[in-house]
Amino acid sequence: MGITGYNYTNEGVQEYYVNGKRGSNLPAYGGGGSVSCCLSLPVLWNHELSVEVSWITGHWTVPIEKIQAMGTKEAIECCLDRRALTKTVPIERYGKEGGDVQVFFLPNDELQVWVYDAGPQNPGHPSHRGYPRKPDTQN
């Protein structure tokens, strides 16, 4: 199964791993698009299934105009507030049809893990979350 992520927070996810398999970076309020390879899960879901997710998240602490005037190393050392986190997360119920492993990065460092064959913008997605959006753009 491929791995993809969706970020429902205002911090970018610089990198993340699911059971040691790397996912792509995710912008704040974005994701999908890129699928990393591969994670093995049983065909049939059971209530004991979980994965370990490790991620590095962060945000700039100064206006982007100041950062743009710096070199990359200087900007990171000066102005990037980064955190490294790890959690074991249960996998939400999935059907025999399977799909990609989808990691949802939620506010307050919460996570959900889904297995589905379409992104959260699909009306049939079991999360019913929709694609990530900045709070000021939701209708």
Q: CB-hemisphere CA count at 13 Å for 2?
A: 14
Nearest Cα residue to 101 out of 45, 29, 48: 45
E strands within the chain?
Answer: 3-7, 12-18, 21-23, 30-31, 50-60, 80-90, 100-106, 110-116
pLDDT 10s per residue in the chain (139 long)?
Answer: 889 999 999 888 988 999 999 998 899 899 876 777 888 989 899 999 999 999 998 777 888 788 888 888 888 788 877 889 999 999 999 988 888 999 999 999 999 999 999 999 999 999 999 999 988 755 5
Q: What is the pTM of this model?
A: 0.84
Q: How far apart are CA 51 and CA 54, in angstroms?
A: 10
Nearest Cα residue to 32 out of 65, 3, 66: 3
Q: How far apart are CA 59 and CA 37, in angstroms?
A: 27
